[in-house]
């Protein structure tokens, strides 16, 4: 495995050469990442030249349509799913809302769904509201100390009426990476579907969704270096059983059925820039681009990012866990978690810590991050919640040092 060339990586993000951001370290990536230049260029081009209803006969209409097709095809390739299994909605929150209505028709009154309380509300509220639609909602609870989701607890919740298990690939406050493939196998053995919120995990490398086995896998492209959209993959045969949520005449059309909002065409086109970026990363680090299938390239880039992130995470976690004036949220083992690190300061106020970090040009945030249920499940007061610092593969060791330097002053 080559070493990630950070100079190359950072040359792909306009933010890193933007004078007004000079010296600032972005540690709120779990809220939203910087976009890569391929996305910015595509969006600029589409808004400047091709902001027109796509799929007509003029060259520009054709180009606008082609841009969208590119996004579906190439992201499907990187996610290792079919082109008709990729769906773009306005956000993950909007996508789960629509999915809940699309799935309800498949189930009988009294059928059961299992929803974890480790989730961001986007993968919680829409499902829990199904309790008022005749569905029995069961909660798969986190361990109150560790925030961990235990598979033994899950087994205890499953019955012959279980139709769905919803949980995060990683929570945006706990950040432990859940074993999706194992949970999907448990769901399938019970005749249920597996719905995974990948919003907090996908920014660390797009997953091979086929290998994970999730029937529905969701993430938000504004956190995977792209435009503000929610991407969901839905297995082809499952979509066919869902109730159409689009105009009646769109029933049966995969691109329309579960995306009634019809998000901005240009942003969908710009999402192809995420694939361009992954292509550029691959071509820069390996010399067999043309002979390597896209899904394989995706897996290798995923691992390339992971090695770099884990190294930096080990340094940060080592420093944080040595302190006795904070309570860490989630596992301290960098191998088991995403680099989204939340903690409760025991001696200093959240606002003062953020102010000191700001003085050190470190951007972070505190609060509940809409992870209300996991924080409640761990008895962490929502106000002021946790301080959270999160980073991505484009983060440097120097930035981790800058963060640690700021935290040192803030906490001492």
Ligand X SMILES: Cc1ncc(COP(=O)(O)O)c(C=O)c1O
Q: Which residues bind ligand X (CB under 6 A)?
A: 30, 91-93, 120, 122-123, 168, 172, 197, 199-200, 220, 230
Closest CA to 398 of 315, 289, 340, 283: 315
Quote the least distance from Cβ 34 to ligand X, whole Å.
16
Quote the least distance from Cβ 29 to ligand X, whole Å.
11
Containing H/E element for 344? strand 340-345
What's the CA angle centered on 402, arms 401 and 407, to 5 degrees?
Answer: 95
CA distances 335 to 31, 286, 309, Å, are 22, 25, 10
Quote the least distance from Cβ 162 to ligand X, whole Å.
23
Nearer to ligand X, 170 or 295 (CB): 170
Nearer to ligand X, 126 or 407 (CB): 126
**Separation of alpha carbons 282 and 349, rounded Å:** 43
CA distances 105 to 94, 101, 130, 242, Å, are 18, 7, 11, 7
**Separation of alpha carbons 233 and 99, rounded Å:** 11
Quote the least distance from Cβ 80 to ligand X, whole Å.
21
Neighbours of 157 (CB within 10 A): 16
Quote the least distance from Cβ 191 to ligand X, whole Å.
26
Residue 331 CA to its chain's centroid (Å): 19
| Token digits of residue 75 | 């992201």
Quote the least distance from Cβ 221 to ligand X, whole Å.
9
Nearer to ligand X, 313 or 411 (CB): 313
Q: Residue-wise over 310-324: b if at least 16 C-beta within 10 A, else e?
A: bebbebbbeebeebe
Quote the least distance from Cβ 178 to ligand X, whole Å.
11
Nearer to ligand X, 92 or 402 (CB): 92
Nearer to ligand X, 199 or 410 (CB): 199
Nearer to ligand X, 69 or 121 (CB): 121
Closest CA to 150 of 122, 178, 189: 178
Quote the least distance from Cβ 223 to ligand X, whole Å.
7
Nearer to ligand X, 120 or 302 (CB): 120
Nearer to ligand X, 200 or 389 (CB): 200
| 8 Å CB contact between 79 and 209 | yes
**Separation of alpha carbons 313 and 352, rounded Å:** 24
**Separation of alpha carbons 112 and 135, rounded Å:** 6
**Separation of alpha carbons 204 and 207, rounded Å:** 9
């Amino acid at each position: 495995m080559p070493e990630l060339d950070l100079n190359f990586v950072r040359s792909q993000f306009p933010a890193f050469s933007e004078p007004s951001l000079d010296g600032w370290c972005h540690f709120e990536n779990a809220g939203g990442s910087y976009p890569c230049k391929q996305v910015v260029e595509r969006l600029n081009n589409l808004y400047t030249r091709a902001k027109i209803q796509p799929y007509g006969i003029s060259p520009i209409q054709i180009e606008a349509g082609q841009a969208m097709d590119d996004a579906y095809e190439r992201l499907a390739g990187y996610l290792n799913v079919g082109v008709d299994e990729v769906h773009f909605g306005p956000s993950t929150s909007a996508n789960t809302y629509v999915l809940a209505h699309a799935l309800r028709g498949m189930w009988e009154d009294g059928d059961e769904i299992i929803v974890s309380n480790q989730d961001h509300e986007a993968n919680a509220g829409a499902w829990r509201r199904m309790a008022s639609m005749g569905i029995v909602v069961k909660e798969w609870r986190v361990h109150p100390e560790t925030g961990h989701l235990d598979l033994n607890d899950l087994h205890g919740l499953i019955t012959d009426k279980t139709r769905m298990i919803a949980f995060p690939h990683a929570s945006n406050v706990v950040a432990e990476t859940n074993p999706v493939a194992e949970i999907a196998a448990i769901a399938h053995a019970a005749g249920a579907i597996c719905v995974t919120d990948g919003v907090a995990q996908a920014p660390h490398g797009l997953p091979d969704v086929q290998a994970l086995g999730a029937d529905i896998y969701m993430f938000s492209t504004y956190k995977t270096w792209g435009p503000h959209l929610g991407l969901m993959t839905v297995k082809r045969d499952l979509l066919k059983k869902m109730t159409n949520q689009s105009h009646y005449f769109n029933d049966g059309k995969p691109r329309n059925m579960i995306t009634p909002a019809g998000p901005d065409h240009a942003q969908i086109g710009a999402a192809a820039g995420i694939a361009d970026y992954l292509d550029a990363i691959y071509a820069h680090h390996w010399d067999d681009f043309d002979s390597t299938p896209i899904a394989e390239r995706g897996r290798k880039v995923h691992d390339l990012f992971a090695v770099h992130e884990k190294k930096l995470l080990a340094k940060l976690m080592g420093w944080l866990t040595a302190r006795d004036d904070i309570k860490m949220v989630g596992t301290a083992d960098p191998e088991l978690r995403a680099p989204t690190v939340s903690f409760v300061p025991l001696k200093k106020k959240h606002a003062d810590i953020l102010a000191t970090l700001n003085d050190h040009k470190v951007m972070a945030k505190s609060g509940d991050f809409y992870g209300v249920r996991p924080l409640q499940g761990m008895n962490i007061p929502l106000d002021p919640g946790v301080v959270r610092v999160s980073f991505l593969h484009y983060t440097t060791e120097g930035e981790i040092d800058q963060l640690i330097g700021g935290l040192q002053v803030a906490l001492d």
